[in-house]
Chain A
């Protein structure tokens, strides 16, 4: 048989499940917001790139392929997707406005480059887009500059490679001589280039390989789950006022063990509801936005604990108020800035730095960022955040227990 607190939790759960529209709105509003935001910003699944570069490679050589591959490597791959097309197809796509830019590589591009002759790349940008075409142009300029330096530094070696390219034949002796020549040339410039460039490159590479590719939707959906929890907190806290108005709390406080069990029962109910909401939304969001399954437990536990902290804090506000109406107004007025600045409507990453700093002072903002940093940035301060959460829960638990006593007593005066 259930204990009194479990029975109270069961009654509360039943009352929440009976209010199907309330439950539906807690779950659907955050889902709608996060999907709308991710569609607006183009942040669907992580494999989708944000712009398409059409490439018509009339040369189709080792050098032209090197150039095209360079444009789809590293961080650029998150922004630019390469699509090879012939001239006619590329023209049709550009006419339809379905690509960000169109790069045409001339037929003699590799020969001209290796023989240190001037050569030309043709880039057509989509005027309907702004950021991605400019990004492609900047990247191409970087690569053409780099090509110019390579021509200057390795003119003899490039001539040899050009010969290989045409004859497709190289003796062991010629290969060794070419290798030594390139190494000698690098040695000359090593003091100027090596230390800084190599170290920086290695660090970036390490981070890229260990952290998952993060898109806007993935950054936003933990905040959206927190939004669902905050919506539910408002309703759940008001149910305590309903029990007070119905006389149940008054009568319980006249019984030998009622009020303590009631308080404990509310906590059980809230934990159960939060666990259900977080589990459901994590599965939906995790599958859609491509969060690895092994990261789900951290997200679920983190959000349930964070939500429970927020419940304790907001409950104290509700119990402090003299009337149900004022409690309702105050808790709703508090929730909106908490949502806006605490990373639920907009992820901290999308806020200006100064605003994000303010957001971190909100408990939900701090805990959300701790979870996201642990998930996406390998910046793990979960232990500190966990200790802060535990301390806050204990402190507000005691405060709320006293406030509930005070409220029932005041109601009976």
Chain B
């Protein structure tokens, strides 16, 4: 349904997206994970036709977004990272506006307005001006506007940023129901728990390149079931020799990151190798997408 083929995009000297390729099938949620500035939003802009890539092609339901934009956009929904709503209009009016923008009219539009308002839990406040809504409610409406026309492919650019837990749950449930209906969803986020809950497959993007791709289970396998140990304190290069039997991911003057199977069981023995005042804090993280990202890049997702 959604296919990205070897796209690249430069802004001056900066290579925002570099030879990115992936595919999202109908009824599948594909997560694009990466820190800020990794190239997620640029990829979404290329896919939605807002930016023309320097190389490569983006296909929506078989139509190129750049050579056949009208046909391609008919099947595409976009939920941008920033709110795109008329604040003075009500939720109902905003949905009418965006429904019209995607060619809906008459009874179909009315029914879709009612359905999506219920899906995002705003049916009781449909007539209120959006400017009176909380941030989370605005996010939910922003999402509803993107799916009003039941697109075959939906692009979600960090839809849960700054959202309260109640709104987040509404959104995640709505996305899961879209999947059940056969919508292909591209979901960008830097919240690992969301990606692990929602996504059938995940692509990890950093500095414009996809550095790992596969199902969550496949990616966990890349970690060899190892946990991540993070030590904070004062370190130098000589300290590396003390942990030669561990896999050292990073060793900086303030922090050391290591990987080990069953890390919790080895932690006290590991700490004993250092001076007591040398370590200020120690933590263990079980194998997940976040620890995989750190393993692959040496950096955290929110860096």
Contact = CB atoms under 8 A, between A and B. Distances in A.
Interface of A: 1-4, 7-8, 11, 14-15, 18, 246-248, 250-258, 261, 408-409, 412-413
Nearest to B81: A247
B221 interface: no
A409 B50 contact: yes
A257 B51 contact: no
A248 B83 CA distance: 8
A1 B107 CA distance: 10
Contact of B80 (A251, A258, A261, A408): A251
B73 interface: yes
B84 A246 contact: yes
B102 A255 contact: yes
Contact of A4 (B48, B51, B76, B101): B101
A413 B11 CA distance: 8
B96 A7 contact: yes
A15 B89 CA distance: 10
Contacts of A247: 80, 82-84
B97 interface: yes
Contact of A254 (B49, B82, B97, B109): B49
A413 to B, nearest CB: 6
Contacts of B87: 246
Given A255-B73, A256-B74, A409-B51, 5 more contacts: A4-B97, A4-B100, A14-B88, A251-B84, A256-B102
A65 B76 CA distance: 89
B73 A254 contact: yes
Interface residues of B, number: 33
B97 A7 contact: yes
B195 interface: no
User: Would you call the interface of chain A mostly helix, strand, loop, or mixed?
Assistant: helix
Contact of B51 (A2, A261, A412): A412
Given A14-B88, A247-B84, A252 B50 contact: no
B100 A254 contact: no
B78 interface: yes
Contacts of A412: 45, 50-51
A21 to B, nearest CB: 16
Contact of B103 (A2, A14, A256): A256
Given A7-B97, A247-B84, A413-B11, A254 B50 contact: yes
A260 to B, nearest CB: 10
A246 B88 contact: no
A289 B237 CA distance: 91
5 nearest CB pairs, A to B: A247-B84, A251-B84, A412-B50, A256-B73, A4-B100
B101 A250 contact: no
A190 B96 CA distance: 84
B80 A248 contact: no
B105 A257 contact: no
Nearest to B99: A4
Contact of B84 (A2, A11, A248): A248
A413 B51 contact: yes
A255 B101 contact: yes
Given A246-B85, A247-B84, A11 B45 contact: no
